Structure 1
Amino acid sequence: MNALVHDFAPAADRVFADPRRTKLRTRPFKALGHFRRLLKDKENTAEVFAIFEALPRRDFVPSAEAFMASEPAAGIYRQEPELPPILDDHAALRALGAGTVAAAYCDFMEREGLSAAGLVEEEAKSWGDRPRYDDVLSWYGRRHRDTHDLLHVLTGYGRDPLGEQCVLAFTFSQSPSPAHLFIAYLGGLHIKRQTKTKAPVLAAIREGQKLGKACPRIAEMPIRELLAMPLDEARRKLNITPAKHYAEAHRVWAQEGQDPYELMKPQTA
């Protein structure tokens, strides 16, 4: 048996879209309010989820429909009912061997003190008491959420503020929610304004967007197979090339004496 197979399966009677679902409205001013609160604490992931709710992805349903009609979808839906138990089983992931995507993912998550379950908890904070739906749309959306940190590993973007903005820009090309670009570019402009840096911040974000466009949709791939691949091979297969502007930004910050992880300090007013 594959080391990553878990003993659970999706609900057999899960509908594609729960009829009780209500259509989300675009609320840019609400999104801006949440972004301002995010600037006060960049680790407050609940504000990020709130921005995504205020700026919903318009093609989400047709994209889910197209994916579920594709040949790989049935196998992925059956074999990967939920990703957090797979991604948080580091013993099984490390059994796949050194140099794999899985090993790099474990190194990243352990170094940063993160877990896939922790991201689920952060989303729950923003969700509150609103209804949840056990339908295929929710499952499809969770795959995009749960692969976020895997994108850091595959792209090489760190968890410094610019790295996060670049991952969001990359993700926009994979899952075009306006919230991705809203946070990415406003975050980039905030870094430029606050630091007066000569680093190519906006160019790095645009580069992330281009890299995401050249890459197949990772959330629609069999994640177990991806985790088992050597990291370099996975990057070649996914057309993920080195992020040159991001690396240049870090080089410039080293010359300027600026810490890349302190570029979005909490605002006090």
Structure 2
Amino acid sequence: MALPLSPLPLRSLRDEASLFVRTARLMQRAGMPMFHPTRIAGGLKGILEDPNDTRHVFTLFESMIGPLEVRHVGHFLESDEGRALFAKRPPVVQALADRDGLRRMPEGSLGRAYLAFVEAEGITADGLVEASRQGRITEHVTSPELAFLREYMRDTHDLWHTLTGYRGDIVGELALLAFGFAQMGNLGVGFLVAVGLLMSAVAGKPGAKGLVDPRVFENREVIVGGLVRGLRARWLPTTDWLALLEQPLEEVRALLAVGPVPSYEPVRA
């Protein structure tokens, strides 16, 4: 089966170009330009120094949005599913922070699997919120729709982990980033995945940690597999995750066509 170029179907060239121009102008006016060149190096330097400091991840990703993400943002804003999600504004952080509520969900459900993931990783639903506030370049986005999408993608990140089966180690994060690059096209995301693979291949030494851990490159098939899975899956940004929390995880995986979960040994920083 041929690998699609994007999980989103291509419109006509004229329609794609028109959508791109409208979205790029909206994002520029709202404080989300495609590139912040002066912030790229600082974001990357911070990640290399401490891969666990998520603030720098947000800096890098916002400094390298790029044209592919502009296209995907436009499709979200102008799709029926995206409009419905914006109108609904599901309280993701509130729902995911309610661990007692998650614990009452059926065994084997997406919600219970999410709870098991965050407890195993020692993270909270609002942890990314604080990291994003500290690392973001644009604190206030003036477009309500763009602000919602930015927060929704951030707040559902660990649900993507749960869905795909990638853990919170370096390999799992890079694999999920590769999956996310296929889904949204953020150049900073793709750049970080490439840097991680390159550094672990070229600079990796036995006993090294972080992105220069040689075990990262040894798991390159898992990471590249994230890209392939992301291209073949349904487009996830318009997914109403809260409506799926009580559904069996395996049924949700089949519904969203994420493919089989890979087996690998986690690599911790």
TM-score, normalisation: structure 2: 0.77
Cross-structure match for 1:44: 53
Instruction: Name the SS of the counterpart of 2:192 in structure 1.
Output: helix
Q: Does 1:216 align with 2:210?
A: no
Report the equivalent of 1:13. none
CA contact (8 A) 1:165 1:185 kept: no
1:147-175 Cα offsets, whole Å, 9 max, x none, are: 21111111111111111110100000111
Q: Please say if residues 105 and 246 of structure 2, whose CA atoms lie closer than 8 Å, have aligned partners that are also in contact.
A: yes
From 88, 105, 108, the equivalent of 1:79 is 88
Deviation, 1:65, is 3.8
Q: Give a deviation string over 1:169-192, Cα, whole Å, max 9, x none.
A: 000011110111111121122233
Query: Partner residue of 2:185?
Result: 176
Change (3 A) 1:18 1:27: closer
Query: Partners of 1:69 and 1:128 in 2: how far apart?
Result: 25
- Secondary structure (helix, strand or coil) at the match of 1:220 reads coil
The separation in 1 between residues aligned to 2:140 and 2:60, in whole angstroms, is 18
Contact 2:47 2:53 in 1 (8 A): yes
Aligned length: 236
Per the alignment, do residues 127 and 23 of structure 1 end up closer, same or farther by CA in structure 2, a change over 3 Å counting? closer
Residue in structure 2 matched with residue 21 of structure 1 by the alignment: 30
CA drift at 1:29: 6.8
Match of 2:225 in 1: 207
SS at match of 2:95: helix
Alpha carbons of 1:58 and 1:116: their partners in 2 closer, same or farther (altered >3 Å)? Answer: farther
What is the Cα deviation at residue 40 of structure 1?
A: 1.5
Tell me which residue corresponds to 1:238: 256
1:104 touches 1:153 (CA, 8 Å); kept in 2? yes
> How far off its partner does 1:45 sit?
0.5
Distance across 2 between alignment mates of 1:223 and 1:57: 26
- Give ranges in structure 1 of 5+ residues lacking alignment: 1-16, 251-258, 263-269
**Aligned equivalent of 2:204:** 194
Paired residue for 2:244?
226
Aligned residues with identical type, % of pairs: 27
Q: Distance in 2 between matches of 1:22 and 1:77?
A: 19
Structure 1 pair 128–55 and aligned structure 2 pair: CA distance change class (3 A):
closer
Contact kept? 2:31, 2:142, Cα under 8 Å: no
CA distance in 2, matches of 1:166, 1:47: 18
RMSD: 2.7
Matches within 5 A, 1:256-267: 260-262=267-269
Q: In structure 2, how many angstroms separate the alpha carbons of the residues matched to 1:37 and 1:93? A: 34
| Structure 2: runs of 5+ lacking an equivalent | 1-25, 207-213
Task: State the distance in 1 between where 2:244 and 2:137 align.
Answer: 33
The CA deviation string for residues 95-116 of structure 1, in whole angstroms up to 9 with x for no partner, is 2211001000011112222122
Q: Which residue number in structure 2 is paired with residue 94 of structure 1?
A: 103
Contact 1:170–1:209 at 8 Å: present in 2 too?
Answer: yes
* Deviation (angstroms), 1:91: 2.1
